[in-house]
Amino acid sequence: MHWRDLDRPSRPPSRRLWSAPVCWRYRIPPAIQNLQPSRSATRRLLCSILFVLAAALHTFAADWQPGDGYRSRELSLPASGKTYLQRLDPALTGIYFTNVLSEEKALENSLRTGGSGVAAGDVDGDGWCDLYFCGMENRNALYRNLGHWKFEDVTASAGVACEGQYSTGAVFADVDGDGDLDLLVNSLNGGTRLFLNDGKGHFTESTNAGLWRRFGSTSMALADIDGNGTLDLYVANYATSKIEDHPNAKFDAKNVNGKTIVTAIDGVPTSSPELTNRYFVDAQRIVRELGEPDILYLNDGRGNFKPVSWTDGSFLDEQGQPLALPLYDFGLSVMFRDMDGDLAPDIYVCNDLFPPDRIWMNDGRGHFRALSNLAVRNTSRFSMGIDFADLNRDGFDEFLVVDMLSREYQRKKLQTVVVPMQYLPVGKIDNRT
């Protein structure tokens, strides 16, 4: 989640701090409107006004506490009365969007209940922050900001409805370097779509951008990973569907060197692209399911993307060895952030279920190595989202990961009934739990 200013036009940041002039309206009583004040009286009046102005400005300035490159002021919340955040009625804003999902469609595929995302950005260059909402059974919607909390649905004229897909997330970013915000949209079993902006809020889909149109893509992050000045793209993938939604699924298997291997599911070979390396039989002879691999794309600066291989040495494990296979995780959220202060964007991926979160450190040239387990000793299970910020103003970012584990002891025990426990072996200090 991110905060955006929706009721003020965006302006380029100023290099200087400035104060707006203060105007005081002084009403002269009718009885003395025709009198001509003396010079001394005028001087006394002006001095009184200037004194009041100076006192007011001093009080305002005293509220701010200076810091190294910033200033801060404590936010005083009212004990009662009007809140700072107020829900606005659709009749006032013009935003009538609702993400629709019927019970029937949810029962067909439980992944559809994960919700959908929203993107915010100025798509037409008028200085106002516009909003784009993703939907499941209904079309997506783009609302143009008219100012003063008024919005207009411009989806049809913009060409970004994305009808007929289960949209999960979206992001505005200038991927072709022409100075306006383009649109990337993820969906279940639809991968990632790119819509290029003409600068006036009208979009054209780029169907040959190199983006994969399969997998259950959830969230995205963009950053220049190799220092060439272009925005590269990381797409977190979850799954297109879950085997738990198919209780009557038929498994074909064979025994190889005493190990049970799943060869097909409902007649579809597990060697097919959507099933490869995703199913195995554990020690309790239970079929386990893995997710789909994430995708890191390199951008050529014109909105053309090329996927980075997981196994060509671009990604190394904790010991510095190339990965033998892609990681088949359940990705829910991803964020780029410089975690080690070398000015190169690193990657944090939040994974659902039993795969651990992935933390990839960038060498500055777009090559990544998994962070040592000794650097981060614990990560959440069932991670949902992440954000970074310097909370204590020491120049180092802290990060917060949210998950679905309850704080209540009884409910927490119920949540972990079907989750296999992980035990830390004695003396194995580099195991992340």
Give the per-residue pLDDT at 48. 57
Mean pLDDT score of the chain? 86
* Helix (H), strand (E), coil (C) string for 197-242: ECCCCCEEECCCCCCCCCCCEEEEEEECCCCCCCCEEEEEECCCCC
Inter-CA distances, 225 with 62, 171, 291, 308, 385, Å: 42, 18, 25, 12, 21
Cβ proximity of 398 and 390 under 8 Å:
yes
Give the per-residue pLDDT at 290. 95
Taking only the tens place, the pLDDT of each residue in 194-224 is: 999 999 999 999 999 999 999 999 999 999 9
Cβ proximity of 402 and 387 under 8 Å:
no
Q: What are phi and psi of 307, to 5 degrees?
A: -70, 140
Proportion of the chain above pLDDT 90, given as a percent: 66
Proportion of the chain above pLDDT 70, given as a percent: 83
C-alpha 85: how far from chain center = 21
Give the per-residue pLDDT at 273. 85
Other beta carbons within 10 angstroms of residue 281's beta carbon come to: 15
Q: What are phi and psi of 101, to 5 degrees?
A: -150, 115
Average pLDDT over residues 42-52: 56
Identify which of 236, 241, 113 has the alpha carbon closest to the alpha carbon of residue 186: 236
Of residues 105 and 415, more confidence is placed in: 105
Cα–Cα distance, 134 to 153 (Å, whole number)? 14
Cα–Cα distance, 184 to 170 (Å, whole number)? 5
Cα–Cα distance, 183 to 69 (Å, whole number)? 34
Structure tokens at 63: 């509220």
Q: Which of 26-40, 75-89, 149-163 has the lowest mean pLDDT?
A: 26-40
Taking only the tens place, the pLDDT of each residue in 221-251 is: 999 999 999 999 999 999 999 988 988 999 9
Q: Is the pLDDT of residue 299 over 60?
A: yes
Give the per-residue pLDDT at 63. 77
